[in-house]
Amino acid sequence: MGNMLDYLDWRGDLSFAQSPFNEVDNLILSQLAYVNFEGIVPPRGNDESISIKDAAEFYFKMYEEETIMNFGFLIRISVPLLKKLGESNRFGNARLSQYVNIIDLDEQKQFSAIHITLSDETIFVAFRGTDNTIVGWKENFNMSFMMPVPAQLEAVRYLNETVRGYDTKLRIGGHSKGGNLAIFASVMCQSQIKANILEVYNNDGPGFNREMTESKEYKEVLSRMKTIVPESSVVGMLLEHEEDYYVVKSSKTGFMQHDAMTWEVLGKGFVHVGHVTQESKLLDVTLKAWVNRMDKEQREQFVDAIAYVFHAANIESLDDLSRSKWKKASEMLIVINHMAPEHKEVLTKTLKLLFDEGRRVYKEAKSKGD
């Protein structure tokens, strides 16, 4: 079975007039947001734009293959997508603009977004998901006790500033945290912008707290929300989802299904399945029970303790872990052993609570014969 790259081989010659925008197009443009377009795509506040075809040409002149192979995983796997998009009739002449990429350690904010103007005269606003930086992942964890997080506020600001005054129909989307940002920005943006939104896509991104999902603003956009998750979804099942979600088949197993390149495509759509796996459901119940047993202060202390370990071990990205995992693991153990007793206690108690909840949930499921 194929993936989004195969889709471009199969249907990349078809214009949007011949085959209207679909769910796979959404995932492609959401994945494109992971590419670093610094110095190629005009920045936020600039009225200029560049075609995907020209952007791809500039990109491969700027970066040699050896350099690309040293990029973070999500950026690296998105580069072949950029190449195919530039060569396709469907996307080659689409215009890129309003690019922004922010990493702010002080605010604990990781944010990136881009406009893609399509030949059907709509704009797809793509929000980047969590990159490989530790600050980006910490912001994800912060959602368990803080809302809005800085990236969510930035997403609203970005949408209001870059779309205000347009009378263009919009589609908004993202993968992972980018999907969460797409929903949040669409719910909280100015009313005249909200009226022009056709669809909002959350591709395996976390949900929100119940206060958000029960709000009047959220319900105004609910019918236009499209949440897509793989069978063994972990990230996409976090927090609350009021909207319906669609489950798609992946060529991988477990957490690797979060990689959107593994989502299976047939024709102009994904290969859909009826429901997420039992393991995904049980993990969802376990994590929600775990989080609910901690108050806001306890969640914050746990996230800060984890962040402290990474910082003290000089781990700034997930690549730091993967390239020398045994060395970094030993450094992390040294840091934990030398932590202040109260911080070590937070880690120990919280992880024990997770283990206890997991054991309880699986025991209950087994007794019910699930």
Q: Is the pLDDT reported for residue 72 higher than 70? A: yes
- Among 31-35, 73-77, 150-154, the range scoring the smallest mean pLDDT is 73-77
Is the model more confident about 31 or about 284?
A: 31
- CA 342, distance to chain mean position in Å, is 33
Looking at mean pLDDT, say which of 195-199, 279-283, 344-348 comes out highest: 195-199
Q: Are 75 and 34 in contact (CB under 8 A)?
A: yes
pLDDT score at 1: 78
Q: What is the mean pLDDT of residues 273-289?
A: 68
pLDDT score at 238: 57
Q: What is the mean pLDDT of residues 34-60?
A: 96
pLDDT digits (tens, 9 = 90+) for 305-316: 666 666 666 655
Phi, psi of 145 (to 5 degrees): -135, -5
Residue 303 to residue 139: CA distance in whole angstroms: 10
- Among 134-148, 155-169, 190-204, 213-227, the range scoring the smallest mean pLDDT is 134-148
pLDDT score at 245: 80
DSSP-derived secondary structure letter, 277: -
Pick from 223, 184, 228: nearest CA to 4: 228
Token match 């495509």: residue?
Answer: 265
pLDDT score at 85: 98
Q: Residue 208 — very low, low, confident or very high, per pLDDT cuts 50/70/90?
A: confident
Q: What is the mean pLDDT of residues 170-183?
A: 95
Helix (H, G, I), strand (E, B) or coil at 228: strand
Q: Which CATH architecture has domain 4-275?
A: 3-Layer(aba) Sandwich (3.40)
Q: Is the pLDDT reported for residue 341 higher than 80? A: no
Return all residues near 53 (Cβ < 8 A) that are at least 6 apart.
86, 87, 92, 93
Q: Is the pLDDT reported for residue 100 higher than 90? A: yes
Q: Is the pLDDT reported for residue 38 higher than 90? A: yes
- Among 45-49, 155-159, 259-263, 287-291, the range scoring the smallest mean pLDDT is 287-291
Q: Are 120 and 21 in contact (CB under 8 A)?
A: yes
Q: Residue 73 — very low, low, confident or very high, per pLDDT cuts 50/70/90?
A: confident
Residue 332 to residue 236: CA distance in whole angstroms: 28
Mean pLDDT of the chain: 83
Q: Residue 148 — very low, low, confident or very high, per pLDDT cuts 50/70/90?
A: confident
Q: Are 22 and 268 in contact (CB under 8 A)?
A: yes
pLDDT score at 210: 84
For the chain, domain boundaries:
4-275, 283-365
Q: Is the pLDDT reported for residue 40 higher than 90? A: yes
